[in-house]
Structure 1
């Protein structure tokens, strides 16, 4: 049992830094994202225009368009996924 506990402790010290370093490589959308909105963790300081392109691609899979909602901090950016508006006649 002690060996198992030691192994888990060692894995934690290896995996946690690995995951953090991978997430620091690029802005990634979070699990909080869904068909209504996309939330990015922007750890590398990508521009809003770059994130907008990624948000448009994400929302497009639901047939929607992306619009920037807010940036709570420099690390979090939120985009809404909206239905395209019908063209006026």
Structure 2
């Protein structure tokens, strides 16, 4: 999703908007084909809030790598603070017992 949402900002700057939209949706479609079954499987083991926090952590890790490696955005201390907050969120949400 990261590439579908942000890759066009670098690669398709001069392309018409409809091309960026079509390309982004075609990339996103394949990710959804993996994400939906993964959520169904994951929901057997994790609660809905746990799945969401896990998804956000994975998304932020992928985004951080993408922004540094592909978009050449420098790492700042805020990246590390954000990572610590996500680790705290994971701790809090995974320390709860699943009720369903």
Do they superpose with TM above 0.5?
no
Q: Which has the larger radius of gyration?
A: 1
Q: TM-score range by the shorter chain?
A: 0.3 to 0.5
| Higher helix residue share | 2
Give the TM-score normalised by structure 2: 0.31
Give the TM-score normalised by structure 1: 0.33
